[in-house]
Amino acid sequence: MTDQAAFPASRRMFLQHLAGVGGTGLLMAGMSALGFGIEARAATPPVLSGGGGKTVVVLGSGVAGLTSAYELSKAGYEVTLLEARERVGGRSYTARKGTQLTELGGEPQTCTFDEGYYINPGPWRIPYHHRGYLHYAKTLGVQMELFNNDNDHSYLYFDKGSGPLAGKAVRKQAIAADTRGYASEILAKQINQGALDQQFTAGDKELLLDYLKGEGYLTAKDFKYVGTENRGPTLDRGAGLNPGEFSKPYPFTDILHSHYWAVLQSVSDYDQQRTMFEPVGGMDRLPYAFARELGPMIKLGHVVEKISQSPNKVEVAYVDKSGQRGVVVADYCVCAIPLSVLKSIDMQVSPTFKAAMSGVSYAPVGKIGLQMKRRFWEEDHAIYGGHIFFDNPDINSLSFPSTGWLGPKGVILGYYQFGGSAAKISALSLKQREAFAISQGAKVFPDYGDHVESSFSIAWHRVPYNLGGWAEWTEEGRKTAYPILNEPDGRIYLAGEHLSYITGWQEGGIESAWLQIAKLHKRVHA
Amino acid sequence: MMQIRLLAAALAAPVALTAAGSPAFAEDGQAVFTQNCSACHQVTGKGIPGAFPALAGDKFVVGPVGPVAKTVLNGRGGMPTFAPDLSDAQIAAALTYVRSSWGNAASPVTTDEVAKARSASGLAAPANGMQAH
């Protein structure tokens, strides 16, 4: 239905015709011809074969490194993957009982959540169009579940505006209904008064009025917004003699001055749209599925100290967990270490390449998981997943788990901040971070703190081997440094989310790996 | 905005006290530094080698004010922009503290100098989206 509405009839018929005679392959080609750009992003890995025993050393076991190692080894390359930590996954990480983390300059932290509870402190949601990730989830047997990224019945909490709604938790559905209702009413009034007669033919006018009536829940006769059950009733209708009770809309001026309308858009950002997924059991499930396939090719606890190369070979010097030093010699290197870390590693590349590595910045990012004694958001507030948006950038979003529905306990994401806010909160002690998260959550749920059992916090800019949440390119950097880093320097190929236009998402790492290993393979077979 | 600052200052105050044993005031350079900068550069100003540059004994930090203020306003490498978070007076106070601590001995930084760097950089506060990744 929606698809049909989106395409003009002639184009739609053309596509239906293609699908009928040629199957999806032809349909896709047809869509590309029509300018839909379907082929612009690969949906499956490059098909490589005939690695012929060439050796490749892969650095880093985030999804970019794992993807590279997996595809290259399948194609017959002899792969060694060096990983600094005692675990695989990089930022694709899950903190659960026993997880240990010590930030640079920070206190040691051990996660004390109950068995079976966890937080994904790094990536936590997979959009439906991240086809590379979903490809591996499917082929490696990682079970996925829905991630609720939008909850009509959740609260919003803005306190920077003014008026009676500022600093008062309100339901998103009420704000959405009222804002669109009033805005539609005003527009309808203008149209009915003839204000837009010049723009529209009579037929257009009628149709637009019909749209506004639906969009804004306007009264049939006089186009007024008087509220709607859909904004959330004060009493749910029920059986017998209970017809329910409608709630009253907020005054428009109160909504405007509270700034709550800022959360509304016709649709979410492309990256944030439904459908969204998460792996069952935690974000590290995909890295561990890769690791299962790669087996002894992965060397954990191997910290890269130096990367050098000659016209024929690459040499990677490492120190392992026992302090033993060694060198891996290979024909090629795929380096999937974040640039924030790589720029401090002794690396034999051209001065231009080296300079380009400093052309990117990394986002400071902070998150905290709070294990709650009971799922009070579900039991007391009928909130199942989704987020509470704050206009305080030190919190941004407080998010409810999309797993363990109706179960005994749950882990809430207590804050998710970036930039200066993340720098500030990360200066606090672990206890202070928890206290800060509780003080903010309590603005929406007065009893919030009573439910907190334990917490696990992270400041990615202070995490060894990451030093940042994700790469951030400026327009200038995209033009100058970025193209340089996308090409190999000698026998060294870089890969990672930082070499994509999908920065900060695992998909960027996966697709960057696909691109780079395809280049490498082409060169081997040139 | 104001409410948030006050809250954050209240939280950071104990940190400042522990670190230096002296009381922190609203625009106290040490307090602003401890609250916003010390997570990476450390309260000692020594940073962490390979990750966060030292400010103690760093030539750039004690050099001309313009580029230093610009770095705080625009960010660089792993360092975020502080333009939307800190006022000119707060940045001036923090920089004055940094330039006169841990053996550093450079001129204080005035609010006007920071304001000048801010208008020169032409940096509007970036919009803070509701959703990231």
| Min distance B32 CA to chain A CA atoms (Å) | 10
Domain at A171, CATH number: 1.20.1440.240
- CATH code of the domain covering residue A331: 3.50.50.60
pLDDT, position A214: 97
Residue A22 C-beta-side C-alpha neighbours within 13 Å: 13
Q: Looking at the structure, tell me whether residues A249 and A305 fall in a common domain.
A: no
A99 in the same domain as A78: no
Asked whether residue A243 falls in the same domain as residue A179, the answer is yes
Closest CA to A282 of A185, A404, A181, A461: A404
What's the pLDDT tens digit per position in A445-454?
999 999 999 9
Considering only CB atoms, A394 lies closest to which of B8, B14, B131, namely: B8
- pLDDT score, position B77: 82
> B42 is written with which tokens?
């450390």
pLDDT in tens, A31-40: 444 444 444 5
Residue A428: list chain B partners with CB under 8 A. Answer: 11-12, 15
pLDDT value, residue A32: 44
3-state SS of A147-180 is CCCCCCCCEEECCCCCCCCCCCCEEHHHHHHHHH
Contact B75 A418 (CB under 8 A): no
- Residues of A within 8 A of B40 (CB-CB) are 104-105, 423, 426, 461-462
Query: How far apart are the CA of A490 and the nearest CA of chain B, in angstroms?
Result: 25
| Inter-chain CB proximity B78 and A461 less than 8 Å | yes
What span, in angstroms and rounded, lies between the C-alpha atoms of A352 and A362?
A: 20
Do A375 and A505 have their domain in common?
no
Burial A16-27, CB ≥16 within 10 A → b, else e: eebeeeeeeeeb
Please report which confidence band the pLDDT of residue A199 belongs to, taking 50, 70 and 90 as the band edges.
Answer: confident
User: What is the rounded average pLDDT of the residues A400-422?
Assistant: 97
Q: Tell me, what's the pLDDT at A51? A: 82
pLDDT of residue A200: 86
Nearest-5° Cα angle at A434, A431 to A437: 150
Q: Which residues of chain B have a CB within 8 Å of the CB of A93?
A: none
Task: Give me the total of CB pairs closer than 8 Å, taking one residue from chain A and one from chain B.
Answer: 114
Q: Which of A493, A443, A524, A496 is nearest to A169 (CA)?
A: A443
- Pick B40's closest partner by Cβ from A263, A397, A423: A423
Q: Compute the mean pLDDT over every residue in chain A, rounded to the nearest whole number.
A: 92
Q: Output helix, strand, coil percentages for chain A, rounded to the nearest 5.
A: 35, 20, 45
- Which of A93, A103, A104, A395 should one mutate to test binding to chain B, selecting the residue with the greatest count of B CBs within 10 A? A104
Of B1, B37, B39, the CB nearest to A160: B1
A179 plus A263 within the same structural domain: yes
Q: How crowded is residue B129: how many other Cβ atoms within 10 Å of its Cβ? A: 10
The answer as to whether A129 is a domain residue is no
Looking up tokens 């439910």 gives A451
Question: Residue A365 contacts by C-beta under 8 Å, 6 or more apart in sequence?
Answer: A416, A417, A418, A422, A459, A460, A461, A468, A469, A470
The type of residue at B12 is A
CATH number at residue A387: 3.90.660.10
Q: Which of A269, A392, A428 sits opposite B15 (nearest CB)?
A: A428
- Which of A191, A194, A199 has the alpha carbon at shortest distance from A216? A191
pLDDT of residue B130: 63
Q: What is the mean pLDDT of residues A361-386?
A: 97
Contact B50 A428 (CB under 8 A): no
pLDDT higher than 90, residue B78: no
Lowest mean pLDDT among A33-47, A161-175, A205-219, A471-485: A33-47
Q: How far is B133 from chain A (nearest CA, A)?
A: 6
What pTM was estimated for this model as a whole?
0.89
User: Using an 8 Å Cβ cutoff, are A456 and A121 in contact?
Assistant: yes
Q: Are A485 and A499 in contact, with CB atoms under 8 Å apart? A: yes
Check if the beta carbon of residue A192 is closer than 8 Å to that of residue A223.
Answer: yes
Same-domain pairing of A483 and A428 = no
pLDDT of B22 above 90? no
Identify whether the C-beta of residue A462 lies closer than 8 Å to the C-beta of residue A451.
Answer: no
CA distance A252 to B110: 44
Cβ A43 vs Cβ A53: under 8 Å: no
In a domain, A48, yes or no: no
Question: Chain-centre distance of CA B118, in angstroms?
Answer: 14
pLDDT at A42: 64
* Superfamily of B2-121 according to CATH: Cytochrome c-like domain (1.10.760.10)
Asked if residue A140 lies in contact with residue A286, where contact means CB atoms within 8 angstroms, the answer is: yes
Contact between A321 and A459 under an 8 Å Cβ cutoff? The reply is: no
Contacts A432 to B, Cβ<8 Å: 11, 14-15
In this prediction, residue B120 carries a pLDDT of 86
Q: Are residues A295 and A327 in the same domain?
A: yes
Q: Is the residue at A27 inside a domain?
A: yes
A405 with A430, same domain? yes
> pLDDT over 70 for what percent of chain B?
74
Flag whether A41 is in a domain: no
Contact B102/B56 with Cβ under 8 angstroms? yes
Report in angstroms the alpha-carbon separations of B84 from A261, A436, B123: 22, 21, 9
Looking up tokens 């299962």 gives A292
**Residues of B engaging A, defined by a Cβ cutoff of 8 Å:** 1, 3-4, 7-8, 11-12, 14-15, 34-40, 42, 48, 50-52, 75-82, 84-86, 128-133
A102: containing domain:
95-124+364-462
Same domain (yes/no): A350, A307:
yes
Do A362 and B78 count as a contact with CB atoms less than 8 A apart?
A: yes
Whether residue A438 is found in the same domain as residue A414:
yes
Closest partner residue to A389 (CB to CB) among B1, B80, B130 is B130
User: Are A206 and A261 part of one and the same domain?
Assistant: yes
Domain boundary assignment for chain B: 2-121
Hey, what are A70's tokens? 């997996």
Q: Name which residue leads in pLDDT, A50 or A154.
A: A154
Judged on CB neighbours under 10 Å (0-12, 13-18, 19+), A507 is buried
